[in-house]
């Protein structure tokens, strides 16, 4: 991965901005109430999102976030979708990971950003 790569995180409900670069939705499910046009995606990488089981266990409970991040990282290890996301970041340099959750601080896009910028 390029050391000049920039990975940003935004809600899919935020209006697209010129500085977003390549916009990737990293949710397994399409966010409710968001049209495909409003999302202004370059790519929807469903499979990089957490499994249904992990998502249900987490339940967007901030107290479970650290454990969620650990379990999610284990799920990603060796997955084709994780490799695809790394390739997207390497190819585009500036990428915005989009999430549909209401919580802007405790979601999978935050975990992915951390992993991609380590």
**With contact defined as beta carbons under 8 Å apart, do 94 and 22 qualify?**
yes
Look at residue 2 in the predicted model and tell me its pLDDT: 43
pTM of the model: 0.94
In DSSP notation, 76-109 reads HTT-HHHHHHHHHHHHHSEEEEEE--S-SSSSHH
How many other CB atoms sit within 10 Å of the CB of residue 36? 9
The per-residue pLDDT for 3 is: 53
**Maximum pairwise Cα distance, the chain:** 36
How do the pLDDT tens digits run along the chain, 118 residues long? 445 689 999 999 999 999 999 999 999 999 999 999 999 999 999 999 999 999 999 999 999 999 999 999 999 999 999 999 999 999 999 999 999 999 999 999 999 999 999 9
* DSSP structure class, residue 53: H
């Amino acid at each position: 991965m390029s050391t000049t790569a920039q990975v940003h995180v935004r809600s899919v409900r935020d209006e697209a901005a010129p500085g977003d670069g390549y916009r990737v939705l990293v949710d397994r499910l399409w966010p409710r109430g968001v049209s495909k046009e409003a999302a202004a995606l370059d790519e929807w990488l469903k499979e990089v999102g957490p499994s249904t089981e992990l998502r249900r266990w987490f339940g967007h409970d901030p107290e479970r976030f650290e454990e969620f991040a650990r379990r999610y990282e284990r799920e990603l290890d060796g997955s084709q979708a994780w490799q695809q996301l790394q390739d997207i970041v390497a190819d585009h340099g500036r990428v915005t990971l989009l999430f549909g959750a209401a919580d802007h601080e405790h979601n999978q896009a935050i975990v992915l950003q951390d992993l991609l910028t380590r």
